[in-house]
Amino acid sequence: MAMITLTVACALLYIANALHLKPTQEGLPDRISSTTYALSTSSTWHTNKHLANQTSSAGHHLHIQTKAKCTIHTNKQTLIYLAALLITNAHDTETNPGPHQPLSPALDITPPDYPCGACGREVADYTNAVQCDNCDQWFHAACEEIPLYIFQCLQSSNAVWDCLLCGLPNLSSGLFSNPTSQSNQFSILSSLSDSIDSPGIPVHASSPKQPQIIPRRRQPKLTPPPLKIAVINFRSIRNKKALLDQFIAQHRPDIVLGTESWLTEEINTNEYFPPSYQVLRKDRQTHTQGGGIFIAINNAYIATPCPELDTNCELCWYQLKIVGSKTIYIGSFYRPPNASTETMEELGKALSRIPQGAHVILGGDFNLPHINWTIPTALPSARNQEHCNMLIDLMEDNGLQQMVHDPT
């Protein structure tokens, strides 16, 4: 019905413009009668059937007849006012037009909070997805065709994953950064280049870093697990294989520092040590009985022998690397009871070759029980005070700390 009212108003304006209506001699009324204001969309309008033939010296007249059979003589200005009044009451005009609102909230499609960089769909918590470590954009594992076992490896490790866009080579410095601006014979084409929108020279040498969408989970600081180290003076391991197997099965040490193994070159390492350990031996080269040292490290650790630290004494070294820790040098040392001071001097040479800042673990049998490690100083009753003082000086010079304070 509102559209009918608007159509009638437009028709009235068209008739007024077509007839070029002018004010009549009777003049305009000071105001529209109450009958005119009471008209609504349900009012019936009739134009005088004799309108086309009715003329007079005063000009053309337009007769509008209402239900009350009341005739109003009006002109162009009155028609415009009446049309504006009808349009206002038509309830079709937007007083404050704005963006289109959906008919139902269910039809309102909002962009996803975490869109996939490949398909653009939502990356939900229950879907397998990976985040690029360069641009921080999320991708569905299925969109990137990442197999399940590779996704599980990425999830359980600190491996770095880059998307295809970030993994491409940087071509901006050579291909796009120097656009040609020299004139050529096709001058008509050069004039069109200004009207074509162009991104211009790249601001950055690579793809700009997008704002972070999802805050990355803070990786926990890796703390190396404590090492379980056993220092054992075997006094011949040849007849103690069963005891060694029982000890390893019960305590599961990570490292075993052994002295006085009494092993020789003719004896294979696999005869006494389980295959889950890597063993570094240094047997006594003389034909006298006794001596011999070794280091046995579990295969779960990455260990490398250090031949550059070998000196003229019963001493061997392993270099151990653990995630989250500095390089560790582990040494096994044996000093015979009747050794000369040269043995302690050779030990000092090996310690001086270790790089600064590395961790050092030195174990074995020094045969120097007469030391008070609380002070530390050699006891007056010590028969080899010179050796005791040399050991104390070596520990202070290399920043070593005694762990066992009582004789064993």
Identify the top-confidence range among 79-83, 178-182, 211-215, 236-240: 236-240
Of 55-59, 202-206, 297-301, 335-339, which gets the smallest average pLDDT? 55-59
- The per-residue pLDDT for range 320-349, each reduced to its tens digit, is 998 888 899 999 999 999 999 999 999 999
> What is the distance between the alpha carbons of residues 274 and 272, in angstroms, rounded to a whole number?
7
Answer for the pair 270, 250: CB distance below 8 angstroms, yes or no: no
166: Cβ contacts below 8 Å, ≥ 6 apart = 132, 134, 135, 207
Q: What is the pTM of this model?
A: 0.47
Report all structural domains of the chain as residue ranges with CATH numbers, in order of start: 2-88 (no CATH), 113-164+208-220 (3.30.40.10), 229-367 (3.60.10.10)
Q: Decide: residue 79, CB within 10 A, 0-12 exposed, 13-18 middle, 19+ buried.
A: buried
- The per-residue pLDDT for range 356-391, each reduced to its tens digit, is 989 999 999 999 999 999 888 999 988 889 999 999
Percent of the chain with pLDDT over 70: 63
3-state secondary structure 24-48: CCCCCCCCCCHHHHCCCCCCCCEEC
Q: Measured in whole angstroms, how far is the alpha carbon of residue 380 from the centre of its chain? A: 64
- The per-residue pLDDT for range 193-215, each reduced to its tens digit, is 445 555 665 555 556 566 556 66
- Which ranges of 170-325 does DSSP label H, i.e. alpha helix? 187-192, 241-251
Mean pLDDT for the chain?
Answer: 75
Q: What's the pLDDT at 161?
A: 84
Query: Between helices 2-19 and 76-88, what is the axis angle to 10°?
Result: 170
* Closest of 166, 113, 117 to residue 144, by C-alpha: 117
Q: Which is it for strands 255-259 and 229-233: parallel, antiparallel or unpaired?
A: parallel
Q: What is the mean pLDDT of residues 256-263?
A: 94
- The per-residue pLDDT for range 140-159, each reduced to its tens digit, is 988 988 888 888 888 887 77
